[in-house]
Amino acid sequence: MSPMRFGAFIAPFHAQRHQNPTLALQRDVDLSRHLEALGFDEVWFGEHHSSGAETIASPEIFCAHVAAKTERINVGTGVISLPYHNPLWVADRVTLLDHLTRGRLMLGIGPGVLQSDAQMIGLQASDLRGYLEEDLPVLLHLLRSEEPLSVRTDRYELHDAHVQLGLYNPDIEIALTSMFSPAGPVLAGKHGLGILQLSGLAKDALAILPDHLASMEQTAADHGHQFDRSGFRVVGMMHLAATKDEAIADVAYGLDDYFDYAQQVIGGNAASGLNFAQRLEWVLESGTAVVGTADEAIAVLENLIEVSGGVGAFLLWGHEWASPEATRRSYEIFARRVIPALTGTSRRIEQSRDSAAAGIAARRAKAAAPASVQ
């Protein structure tokens, strides 16, 4: 497997009340450019249409905008909620964007997560997973085959449908979302796709990774696909600072806004507490996030590698717990300290330094030694 890659998954979460939405979106763009400058490999953007915090409605448009302002970093749809769309138009937009980005596009697909999104277009959230399983083969055929396709479902019809523009990158990375259910890894294995594992770094989340990877590998083999761990990405929460106390002080800026949104608007994280102290304790005790130092982050990711047997990439969940300035510093600390420790990029430099230091020590010891008696 190729060396572990690193990136960010930006839903986004602009949960602070009464803020300027234009500036919030600009922060996402600026952060993407910052990530590229720091050497991160990829950045993903979500699709949401309600709730007032996750404000990117079209990841395709946002990927195109960010790609035009960057040069190297890969951009991904994280994710397109496929049941909300006609697969033909998704394939058409993706193909166009693949050309515009010259192959820097990664395609993330999921069923959709916000009930309020689905309700606005007359869909039941409980039906979305089934719709995804129905629509995914249609999308893949349109992307991968030149043969026209005719399909009739309860939601749309296609008649000799085809995409007029072939992919710029025929090997475009395609990944499905996964949480705690093995449904995502099984579906990914069936179609030879990757995974965006959104369950995080908590103890119970890490415990399921071996089973998800095994399910994915077995299903891939059953359907004639080569299983590749490099397509398995884990998304987790971190905020880093020079000291743990500083990191905790940083997240006092926005942690409550994030959990207020998660609990009161989208109905999750009920066990996480009702005030900053309770929520911080829950985050740290459960292992849901690292709020601390680079050394803590390194230890958590080394454990992730040991538990899973290795994954293709780790993506930092964009949560805005800290101020924009502290958030940028956190990513800088991660790039400066954590990535080299996980990839070994500083190993030869350290070896060279140690070798030179050993040579100096040997010469000093020789010079200090008494002359031998004749």
Q: What is the CATH number of the domain that holds 66?
A: 3.20.20.30
Cα separations (Å) of 260 from 12, 21, 303? 15, 18, 30
Q: Quote the Cα angle for 331-60-108, to 5°.
A: 70
Burial string for 238-253 (b: 16+ CB within 10 Å, else e) reads: bbbbeebeebbebbeb
E-only strand ranges, the chain: 5-10, 42-45, 74-81, 105-110, 149-152, 157-161, 174-178, 194-197, 232-240, 289-292, 313-317
Which neighbouring-strand residues pair with 52?
Answer: none
Structural domain including 314 reads 5-348
Is residue 368 one of the residues assigned to a domain? Answer: no
Is residue 372 one of the residues assigned to a domain? Answer: no
Is residue 354 one of the residues assigned to a domain? Answer: no
Is residue 359 one of the residues assigned to a domain? Answer: no
3-class DSSP state for residue 150? strand
Is residue 87 one of the residues assigned to a domain? Answer: yes
Q: What is the pLDDT along the chain (374 residues), one digit of tens a residue?
A: 678 999 999 999 999 999 999 999 999 999 999 999 999 999 999 999 999 999 999 999 999 999 999 999 999 999 999 999 999 999 999 999 999 999 999 999 999 999 999 999 999 999 999 999 999 999 999 999 999 999 999 999 999 999 999 999 999 999 999 999 999 999 999 999 999 999 999 999 999 999 999 999 999 999 999 999 999 999 999 999 999 999 999 999 999 999 999 999 998 877 789 999 999 999 999 999 999 999 999 999 999 999 999 999 999 999 999 999 999 999 999 999 999 999 998 889 989 999 999 999 999 999 999 876 55
How many domains does the chain contain in total? 1
Is residue 361 one of the residues assigned to a domain? Answer: no
Is residue 125 one of the residues assigned to a domain? Answer: yes
Is residue 232 one of the residues assigned to a domain? Answer: yes
Task: Please state, as a whole number, how many other Cβ atoms lie within 10 Å of the Cβ of residue 70.
Answer: 19
- Within a 13 Å sphere around the CA of 291, how many CA atoms are in the beta-carbon half? 25
What is the pTM assigned to this prediction? 0.95
